[in-house]
Structure 1
Amino acid sequence: MPVINRIAAYAEDMTAWRRHLHKIPELQFACHDTAAFVAERLREFGITEIHEGIAETGIVAIIEGRGEGPTIGLRADMDALPMEETTGLDHASTRPGAMHACGHDGHTTMLLGAARYLAGTRNFAGRVALIFQPAEEGGGGAGVMVDEGIMDRFDIAQVFALHNTPNVAEGRFQTKPGPIMAAVDTFHIDIDGQGGHGAYPNETRDPVVAACGIATAIQTIVSRNRHGLGDLVVSVTQIHTGTVDNVIPGTAYLNGTIRTFDADVRQMVFDRLQAIVDGQAASYGVTATLRIEEGYPATVNDAGRAAFAADVAREVAGDGAVDDAAGREMGAEDFAYMLEARPGAYLFLGQGESAALHNTDYDFNDRIAPVGASFFARLVEVAQPAG
C-alpha cells in the first residue's frame, strides 16, 4: 500500500503548514506560537479533546476511534535551534538567532497530516494520543511531559516517533530493535593551579600543561578500556585558559561529551574520568574538579514494536525501502524518556540529498511529509483495527 490517497491530497496544505512553521521557529519550552498553530489546526479537523500547556507549551490531543480499545501515542517535536539560517529561501526564518535546522517543523506537519486523516476517518478502535512536544533540543521536554503524567493520564499503552534523516533515500525508513540512539552526558573539569610570569614557569603550578595532559589521557578511555568494535564516544570539545603570551594563568577549564548505549559502559567512563582527573592533577601539582552532567538516556526500541513499525512502513514505502536492522546512531534523542515509560519504537525517514541536520543551510523536504503522515495513520489502523 503506497501513501494514503487522502493524505496525498493534503500535500499542498501540509507544505503550507510546514513553511509557516519554518518561518516562526521557537526555542526550548517557549513554543507558544507553534503550539497555538497546532491547536488551531486540530480544532479545524474536528478534534475536541485538546490538552494544552503540558511542559509549558506541549499539547496532547485525543481522537476517539470506533469502539473500545487501547490508546496509542504518536509524538512530534516542535522546537527549533539557536542558529542563524543561511538558506535564503522564501520561507526562511523570520526570527534572528533561531531556525528549524533539525526538521521539527516537518515532524509537526507529519503528525498534523495524520491527525487530519484519523479525525476524518476514525477507522480504528480505541484512541490516539497526538503528542506535540517542546524542548527536544536540550530541554528534555519529553521527560517533562512524562513527569507531568501524560502516559498515565491518557492511558497510553505504546508510543512511536519519526525523525527525518538527510542523505538517505527519500522515503526510506530505518529502524532497529534495542538501542538506536545513544545516551548523552556532559563532563566539566575545572583546574586550579598557580599562575605567574611566563618566563618563570618553575614558580607556577601550570594549569595549561595539566589541561593538555588530562585531554590526552581522556583519549585512552575509548582506545584502552573498550573493545575496538564497541560503540563509545568520549570527546573533549572545549579548553579555555590564559589571556596573553607572557602570563601562565591560574586556572583552566575542559568540557566534553560522552555517548554510550550500555549502563555499565557509561559508569566505566564516569569512573575512568574521575581517576584520570585525580591522577593527572596530582602529577602536575594542581587541583582539579570533575562534574558530570547526566543527559538523555539511550533511546531503546522495544523489539516487537520496532518489528511491527517496520512492517507498517513496508506497507507505505515498499519492501525495498525499509531497513529494520539499521546501525545505531551516536546522536541522542529525548524520546528516550517516553520509551522508558512505555514500549514503542523510533524510526528514521530519509529525506534525500540535503544539508545535514543542525546546519544553517538545512531545510526539511516537504515531499516526505505525506509519507510520514501515512505511516503514522497506518500504524494506528493496523495496531488497533476497527470492528
Structure 2
Amino acid sequence: MAVINRIADFDEDMKGWRRTLHQNPEFGLECHQTAAFVCDRLREFGVDEIHEKIGVSGVVAIINGQGDGPTIGLRADMDALPMDEMTGLDYASQNQGLMHACGHDGHTTMLLGAARYLAETRNFRGRVALIFQPAEENFGGAKHMCDEGMMDRFDIKEVYGLHNLPGVELGSFITSPGPLMAAVDTLRVNVTGVGGHGAHPDECKDPIMALVSMAQALQSIVSRNLPPMEQLVISVTQVHGGTVDNVIPETAWLEATIRSFTPEVRDMAEKRTREVIGGLAAAFDVSAEIIYDRGYPATVNHPDQTEVALEVARDLSGESRVDGNGGVSMGAEDFAYMLDERPGAYLFLGQGDGPYVHHPEYDFNDEVSAYGASFFARLIERLNPATQ
C-alpha cells in the first residue's frame, strides 16, 4: 500500500498517541480527557481553529487550504466500552471497567495523523473539518453534535469516516453504496398478570406463559410479514420473571433488538410488534406495557461520494484489496446521523488477524494508523485539489 511517506515518518508518534489513548479510555459523552489530548496535539500541528465541547465533549478543528473551496468533514469516534480488558498489554487500560475494545483509540489516531499531514502541506483548496466525536457506542454522540448545528455552523458539505475491521487483510478496504449498516431499535415489554401458587394456575393470570408466547410470535413478523428479499432481524435477548419454582409471578419482562435497513420495513416492524404483543396480552388476559425505542438510523452511503472514496482506496491499496460491493451488516453506527444530514461515505479498513471488536482481548493494530491517515489525506487532496 502506498502510505504517504511523510505520514510514515511519524508512525512512531502515532503509535505513542494511540497507546496513550488506549491506557486512558473514557465512556459515552464524557470523553473530556481524550478531547484534551486531541486538542493538545492539534495545537502542536498548527491547525487554524479548534472548537471544543460540541456534543458535550466533541471537538471540531478546521484546517484551511489554498484558496476557496468546500469544507469536507472527516470523523473519528473517541469513546470506549464498559468492559474489563484481558489483553495483558503493558499499555492496557488503567481505568477499571473501561476498555478501548472497538478501536476508537486507533480511529482518533488516524485522524490526528491526517491532521498533522494536512496542516503541514495544505495541498488542497477549501477547508477540512476534523470531527472528534464522543459516544458512538451508546448515546449517539453524532446526533448530539448534529443537533447542535455542527454541519451548518462549519458549512460542512460532505463527510467521511473509517472503521477498523479485524480478520480482514491489513490495508484493505470494504464498503458498499447505499445501505451499509442497519437501523437499530430496542423493544421492552413489561407484562403484568396475577400471581399466585404454582399449584393453582387456574387462579392466576400467568405473565410467564404470555411472555414466552410473545417471544416466539415476534419471529413471525420476519417470516410472515416481510417480503423474502427484504432484511429484518428481531432477536429477543432478555427474558426475566419469577423468583422460585412454586410461585407464579405477577410480572415478567423481555427485551429485544430490532434491526432493519429501510424506513418502510422499520415502520412495519414497529406496527406489527405492537399488534402482536397487544393481541397476545388480550389472549392471555394480562396487561403489556410496550416501550419501543428508535435508536440509530440505518447507515446509508451516498453513491457518488462512495465511488470517490473507493477510487482513493484503490490508489492506495490496489484494485485487488478494495471491495466496493462488500454487502451490508446488521450492526449499527451513529455516523448514520451525519450521513442523514450530508452526503458522504463510511468504509471499513482491514487490520489483519486478531480478536474481533468488543472482545476483551482485542487491540487495535498500530500498523493500520498510517494507512487510515493516508486515506483521509489523499481523500481531501482528491476532493479539493490545490490550484497551482
TM-score over 0.5 for the pair: yes
Which amino acid in the other structure matches residue 134 of structure 1?
Answer: P
The answer as to 2:48 corresponding to 1:48 is yes
The answer as to 2:297 corresponding to 1:287 is no
Aligned partner of residue 256 in structure 1, secondary structure: strand
Q: Which residue of 2 aligns with 1:173?
A: 173
Distance (whole Å) between structure 2 residues aligned to residue 358 and residue 227 of structure 1: 32
Distance (whole Å) between structure 2 residues aligned to residue 11 and residue 228 of structure 1: 48
Structure 1 residue 245, shift from structure 2 partner: 0.8
Which structure 2 residue ranges, 5 or more long, are not aligned? none
Structure 1 residue 317, shift from structure 2 partner: 1.0
Q: Which residue of 2 aligns with 1:348?
A: 348
Which amino acid in the other structure matches residue 115 of structure 2?
Answer: A
Q: Which residue of 2 aligns with 1:332?
A: 332
Aligned partner of residue 14 in structure 2, secondary structure: helix
The answer as to 2:124 corresponding to 1:124 is yes
Structure 1 residue 169, shift from structure 2 partner: 1.1
Distance (whole Å) between structure 2 residues aligned to residue 4 and residue 60 of structure 1: 24
**8 Å contact from structure 1 (residues 277, 289) kept in 2:** no
Q: Which residue of 2 aligns with 1:203?
A: 203
Structure 1 residue 257, shift from structure 2 partner: 0.4
Which amino acid in the other structure matches residue 309 of structure 1?
Answer: A
1:228-286: per-residue Cα shift (whole Å, max 9, x none)? 34321001011110001111000010111010001111111111111111111111111
Distance (whole Å) between structure 1 residues aligned to residue 181 and residue 172 of structure 2: 18
Which amino acid in the other structure matches residue 108 of structure 1?
Answer: T
The answer as to 2:58 corresponding to 1:58 is yes
Q: Which residue of 2 aligns with 1:193?
A: 193
Q: Which residue of 2 aligns with 1:304?
A: 304
Structure 1 residue 102, shift from structure 2 partner: 0.5
Aligned partner of residue 218 in structure 2, secondary structure: helix
Q: Which residue of 1 aligns with 2:23?
A: 23
Structure 1 residue 289, shift from structure 2 partner: 1.8
Structure 1 residue 219, shift from structure 2 partner: 1.1
Segments ≥4 residues shifted beyond 2 Å: 227-230
Structure 1 residue 115, shift from structure 2 partner: 0.2
Compute the TM-score of the two structures, normalised by the length of structure 2.
0.99
Aligned partner of residue 120 in structure 2, secondary structure: helix
Aligned partner of residue 282 in structure 2, secondary structure: helix
Distance (whole Å) between structure 1 residues aligned to residue 383 and residue 51 of structure 2: 24
Distance (whole Å) between structure 2 residues aligned to residue 208 and residue 17 of structure 1: 52
1:275-315: per-residue Cα shift (whole Å, max 9, x none)? 11111111111111211001000011110000110000111
Which amino acid in the other structure matches residue 341 of structure 1?
Answer: E
Which amino acid in the other structure matches residue 316 of structure 1?
Answer: L
Distance (whole Å) between structure 2 residues aligned to residue 69 and residue 98 of structure 1: 41
Distance (whole Å) between structure 1 residues aligned to residue 319 and residue 186 of structure 2: 40
**8 Å contact from structure 2 (residues 48, 64) kept in 1:** no
Distance (whole Å) between structure 2 residues aligned to residue 11 and residue 147 of structure 1: 35
The RMSD of aligned alpha carbons is 0.8
Structure 1 residue 371, shift from structure 2 partner: 0.4
1:104-133: per-residue Cα shift (whole Å, max 9, x none)? 000000000000000000000010000000
Alignment of 1:316-331 (within 5 A): 316-331=316-331
Q: Which residue of 1 aligns with 2:89?
A: 89
Q: Which residue of 1 aligns with 2:112?
A: 112
Which amino acid in the other structure matches residue 4 of structure 2?
Answer: I
Aligned partner of residue 252 in structure 2, secondary structure: strand
Distance (whole Å) between structure 2 residues aligned to residue 279 and residue 126 of structure 1: 58
Distance (whole Å) between structure 2 residues aligned to residue 82 and residue 41 of structure 1: 26
Alignment of 1:208-287 (within 5 A): 208-287=208-287
Which structure 1 residue ranges, 5 or more long, are not aligned? none
Q: Which residue of 1 aligns with 2:374?
A: 374
Distance (whole Å) between structure 2 residues aligned to residue 267 and residue 154 of structure 1: 33
**8 Å contact from structure 1 (residues 114, 374) kept in 2:** yes
1:146-169: per-residue Cα shift (whole Å, max 9, x none)? 111111111111000000111111
**8 Å contact from structure 1 (residues 42, 112) kept in 2:** yes
Which amino acid in the other structure matches residue 213 of structure 2?
Answer: G
Alignment coverage as a number of residue pairs: 387
Distance (whole Å) between structure 2 residues aligned to residue 177 and residue 12 of structure 1: 34
Distance (whole Å) between structure 1 residues aligned to residue 49 and residue 359 of structure 2: 37
Structure 1 residue 227, shift from structure 2 partner: 3.1
The answer as to 2:75 corresponding to 1:75 is yes
Q: Which residue of 2 aligns with 1:362?
A: 362
Aligned partner of residue 378 in structure 1, secondary structure: helix
Distance (whole Å) between structure 1 residues aligned to residue 89 and residue 220 of structure 2: 45
Aligned partner of residue 376 in structure 1, secondary structure: helix
Aligned partner of residue 372 in structure 2, secondary structure: helix
**8 Å contact from structure 1 (residues 179, 298) kept in 2:** yes
